[in-house]
Amino acid sequence: MAEHLPEADERQKVLQEALELAQSIEDADFRARALTNVASHFVDLDASNLLEVILDDWLGTLQDIDRPESLRLTIQTIDLFASLGGTDTLVEIAESINVVGQWWP
């Protein structure tokens, strides 16, 4: 819905409301999915402070869901990570996934 609003300020307001709703979801799996969806819409806005809030919550939620779902959601947010941190961030993500895979095959 937010991408159909003409003004960036209006889009950001709607996305902030969506973020608050996503954060209020108690089930970790559904919360992670909702946060992934909301985060993907913040990439085009100049809202890096809100992206940090989303990512902090999102990363905290990933520890409460199973590995296959965590990986699926990470793949869905790769564009977000690339836009925020570039190649270095993507390399760190790949290395982290490899390390976890070695610890818990």
pLDDT in tens, the chain (105 residues): 555 555 767 777 887 888 889 889 999 889 888 888 887 777 666 556 666 777 777 777 878 888 888 888 888 888 878 877 789 988 988 998 888 888 877
Q: What is the pTM of this model?
A: 0.64
Query: How confident is the model at residue 60, as a pLDDT?
Result: 79
Query: How confident is the model at residue 25, as a pLDDT?
Result: 92
| Domain spans, the chain | 2-103
Query: How confident is the model at residue 47, as a pLDDT?
Result: 57
Amino acid making up residue 50: L
Query: How confident is the model at residue 91, as a pLDDT?
Result: 92
Angstrom distance (rounded) from CA 105 to CA 100: 8
Query: How confident is the model at residue 29, as a pLDDT?
Result: 87
Ramachandran region, residue 104 (left: φ > 0; alpha: ψ -120 to 50; beta: rest): beta
Task: Give the residue among 5, 71, 9, 1 at the shortest CA–CA distance from 38.
Answer: 1
Angstrom distance (rounded) from CA 39 to CA 104: 28
Contact predicate 13/4, CB 8 Å: no
